[in-house]
């Protein structure tokens, strides 16, 4: 799931309304500091263009991660696959914090929130990895992209944020798209239960992202949140993997390494992306992850989503793009 990723995101109305990924929270925090030092433009490409390129590479990285999960096969338990992903995230967050000489002590009163975020983030990863191993890659990745829309709903209760009419419409459209992918009428279908688990993963991630925003509003360091989330996930994965550990073959090990490598690529480039540009300018390009997943699924597994799934993907992506445009317009009007 899965799978770094704040100051700017935590205080930005766009981010509060749409719910960015945890790694984006961390990337934006370091990115804001770096942009102040280097300026918004360098020779050649603009920083916005560089940010877009990095988001595309991040999307490809996380699509590779889900591809590695599927290639590793059903013989390897999904929590063992998650172990490789979490190890990479943990080392990455640790390296960033050490490089910036950041404290590993949470701010007073944030410990419970970090624990809740970690629990639901871990559930989200497990559900996403399970779905990636069973469903079409494009469908599994798309269900995970429901997280921002779930975050809007959870923000109503957790943060007391009243959604705008446009946001409510976006949630309705996205959830309608979800129904096209899950196909609840086909209760006996082999993909129904994995699809429901994929939705639970998206909902868990959305709840975790809502807590990330709440912690950010309390002044917590985004990279520290990623570090403790990854550490908690590792603590869950290690004992379970030790009991039910399956020794991978050389081929399976290569695919597990691909899973971790894809996660690392995603982590690195999402951080770089928010070094170059703020979320409101580039976050919409994150939906290309579904396109990359569809390409990998077709090329490696011959997967072709059916008409209903394609309709669902279009509805969810369309709702995401519309929310991006609406938030940018609202921010411009408020400026």
Which pLDDT does position 82 carry in this prediction?
A: 92
Which pLDDT does position 43 carry in this prediction?
A: 58
Over residues 162-188, the pLDDT tens digits come to 888 888 999 999 999 999 998 876 555
CB 104 within 8 A of CB 215: no
Which pLDDT does position 161 carry in this prediction?
A: 86
CB 149 within 8 A of CB 319: yes
Which pLDDT does position 273 carry in this prediction?
A: 83
Ranges in the chain, pLDDT < 70: 1-43, 185-189, 280
Give 75: exposed, middle or buried? Use CB within 10 Å, 0-12, 13-18, 19+: exposed
Give 264: exposed, middle or buried? Use CB within 10 Å, 0-12, 13-18, 19+: buried
Which residues are bridge partners to 41 per DSSP? 46
What's the whole-model pTM score?
0.80
Over residues 21-70, the pLDDT tens digits come to 444 544 555 455 444 444 444 458 888 889 899 989 999 999 999 999 99
Q: Tokens standing for 193?
A: 């239960």
Which pLDDT does position 61 carry in this prediction?
A: 93
Per cent of the chain over pLDDT 70 is: 84
């Amino acid at each position: 799931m899965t799978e770094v990723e704040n100051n700017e995101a935590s205080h930005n109305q766009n981010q509060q309304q749409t719910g960015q990924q945890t790694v984006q929270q961390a990337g934006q925090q370091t990115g804001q500091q770096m942009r102040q030092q280097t300026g918004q433009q360098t020779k050649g490409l603009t920083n916005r263009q560089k940010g877009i390129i990095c988001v595309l590479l991040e999307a490809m990285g996380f699509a590779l991660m889900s591809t590695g999960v599927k290639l590793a096969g059903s013989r390897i338990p999904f929590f063992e696959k998650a172990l490789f992903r979490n190890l990479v995230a943990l080392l990455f967050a640790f390296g960033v914090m050490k490089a910036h000489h950041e404290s590993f002590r949470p701010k007073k009163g944030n410990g419970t929130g970090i624990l809740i975020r970690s629990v639901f983030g871990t559930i989200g990863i497990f559900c996403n990895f399970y779905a990636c191993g069973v469903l079409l890659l494009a469908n599994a990745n798309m269900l995970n992209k429901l997280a921002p829309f779930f975050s809007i709903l959870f923000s109503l209760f957790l943060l007391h944020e009243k959604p705008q009419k446009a946001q409510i419409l976006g949630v309705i459209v996205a959830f309608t798209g979800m129904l096209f992918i899950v196909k609840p009428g086909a209760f006996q279908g082999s993909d129904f239960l994995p699809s429901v688990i994929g939705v639970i993963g998206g909902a868990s991630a959305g709840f975790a992202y809502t807590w990330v925003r709440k912690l950010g509003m309390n002044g917590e360091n985004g990279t520290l949140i990623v570090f403790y989330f990854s550490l908690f996930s590792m603590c869950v994965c290690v004992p379970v993997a030790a009991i039910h550990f399956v020794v991978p073959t050389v081929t399976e090990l290569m695919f597990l390494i691909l899973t971790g490598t894809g996660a690392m690529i995603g982590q690195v480039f999402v951080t770089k992306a928010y070094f170059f540009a703020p979320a409101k300018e580039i976050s919409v390009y994150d939906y290309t992850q579904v396109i990359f997943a569809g390409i990998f699924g077709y090329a490696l597994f011959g997967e072709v989503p059916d008409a209903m799934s394609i309709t669902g993907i279009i509805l969810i992506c369309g709702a995401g793009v519309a929310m991006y445009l609406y938030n940018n317009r609202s921010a411009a009007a408020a400026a």
